[in-house]
Structure 1
């Protein structure tokens, strides 16, 4: 018997974290999902139900500036001050809730895209709260590129303000990702080879919005702070991506990040690349295979000992 209940947690700064908790009768583990940019936690509801039917309790929630309950004017904006720190603090509160709700059960953190960098920053600060870190559609930390992007975003913010939604930044990111799949059917072809999933994303008013330069500045600063050498050495870390994901540089950037994590001394690191997959492997045409793989990471982590590369 699987049940889904709303999640609502009040933060010290008067923000309310909202989401959902999906539980089986006798969970064997817990998965917390940190979603990507310009989407929301409810998109993972089918996956949460599927995993719960197979023994996992799943928590999905909305980052600040995302999801139901967020005013339209605030979509795509973390906070006016200390945005990245607040997002990490929110995740910590969700993890603490999960630990209290399911004491003694293994707890896994899955971060997708933007959420993968939030998850890495979280693991760097609170790695002792996790049994494994799973990264979907992530990429290497290219400090030279991030510093250049940060300088551009700071200039735009100086001229237009932190709440400005820059079409230039959108063209340099999401539009560039989509151009790799020209001729394009839609503006979001880069997400998946499944046209139904792409159309569902486009039709969702809580997806695909342009984020503020304030969020981008917070996000870039957060990524620049990620250093695998500071992670807990025995924290299992699992990366998966598609070979046609432009965020992961068509697999090349993900491989380099995998290697950097290994070289940082993390003892158990794995990488799985799915041939031809685009950005959202959890919504791809072979999602059944990907869901099974994710399930195996959460329930059979003892079989993941050692290091392997795709």
Structure 2
């Protein structure tokens, strides 16, 4: 299985000309009866060896963390970060292995943050909430810097999304340090951070509308990071999961999911639909439960939602054409739509 990143690398290395790569993409799109952009491809596995190496890396890093923690809390994170960077020099830069690269990036960033947190645990300072918020934002800032260094060295697509999440955490820490706001303010802040991450994802998508380069992979991970930051605060503010919801709330949840579906069709990304799925399942199950289908509410819910999602997948292209057609000139800034053609 070859990803867009592999094709891009082959063109850059002179293995094949750009025209050949484009012809291959067109051939795949034709055989699948779907444009390449609609596949929303991203590189996660280059083979089963990725899983094998990923398991080995996880075991090694877990052992280093435990051994380091036995000596000092901060040493655990530092050992993991150092090992992750060292291993990435081989498995990421030389072998270009997808899953191990993702694991090593997360381990490195997590190790950097854990080093600072471990040092604070050893100090056990008695600080005020404001100081704790400022220190937390400082940890997030250092984590952002570490993420940037990792990106400059290895350019793993998920790195930008991790950095964006760390920036959101830093901004939230600064906000709480300045305003002394209550914990409930976290949800609007996460929503704002999610919208900012979504905007960044759209910018990356806009630089590669046909999704033929690594930039599309970066945008994919940014959309994946932004989706839960948008969906969870919105549905939390509606009171979902805070006890039994009423019919009106359930209807609003379903309506929001339709809005998310329209957005997903327009931008040709499915992350919002996946992140919102749990809330929709809960809302629809509540409707069936209140209608009297107590024992079969989950079965009916799964049947309706499963059928709807399969239909959406099957008719994704014509539905996209309809949505893009309603956007006018804005549609030119979105991934292209396959034109209807005779069989």
Of structures 1 and 2, the larger Rg is shown by 2
Q: What TM-score does the superposition give when structure 2 sets the normalisation length?
A: 0.29
Structure number with higher helix proportion: 2
Q: Larger relative CO (CA 8 A, sep 6+): 1 or 2?
A: 1
Structure number with higher strand proportion: 1
